[in-house]
Amino acid sequence: MKRALIGLAVAAVAVLSLAPPAASAAPPPVSRPLTGTVVTQDLPPEAPTGCPAGAVWRYTASGTAYLSNLGRSQFTISHCSYLTGPTTGTFDHGTIVIIAANGDQLYMAESGTFYLYVDESGGLISVPTVDWTITGGTGRFLHATGSGQLLARSSDLQSPPTTTSGTFSQGEITYVASDRRS
């Protein structure tokens, strides 16, 4: 009987030693503020190709962003624009792509509002408020989520080339830092 128990114990140890190691728990996602600045070179307004009925133009711009958790990044934005009054409007069906300093990409959906005013020098200025939601990305942003707001101001729309400067004033990003480029 004692010999049978010892044999059974040895067999159990042998089976357990051949079993694959238990999977380690995935690292938890980290949540951090997403803040910083962006400066874009605005392209001339384009026909609203691919936009819903009622869109007046497609806005597209690209430039540089300096964002927490991403560093110096490339920034591209595009959306469908609508006038709601003589000095107000909305935009939707928008995308933002941010390419971080290490090449990881962050994808966002965006929409918002804008108003126009004439500044003290007679320039026509656009002031957009962009609401963004993270839809994923590559590398560490593969499973990223989050949302926030970007507040911006254009240079004189009547004196191209136009630039727009903005601040990611509020927002949060959640991602798994160990996700790697696929």
Cα distance between residue 44 and residue 76, in whole Å: 15
What are the strands, taking DSSP E only, across the chain? 30-33, 36-42, 57-67, 71-83, 88-99, 105-118, 124-137, 145-154, 163-175
165, two tokens: 């400067």
Cα distance between residue 182 and residue 135, in whole Å: 17
Q: Which of 67, 69, 73 is nearest to 32 (CA)?
A: 69
Extents of the domains making up the chain: 28-175
Spatial contact of 89 and 114, defined as CB atoms under 8 Å apart:
yes
28-175 CATH fold: AOC barrel-like (2.40.350)
pTM: 0.84
Q: Is residue 25 predicted with pLDDT exceeding 80?
A: no
Q: Give the mean pLDDT of 57-64.
A: 97
pLDDT of amino acid 169: 85
Q: Is residue 15 predicted with pLDDT exceeding 60?
A: no
pLDDT tens sequence across 29-52:
889 999 999 999 999 999 999 999
pLDDT tens sequence across 79-132:
999 999 999 999 999 999 999 999 999 999 999 999 999 999 999 999 999 999
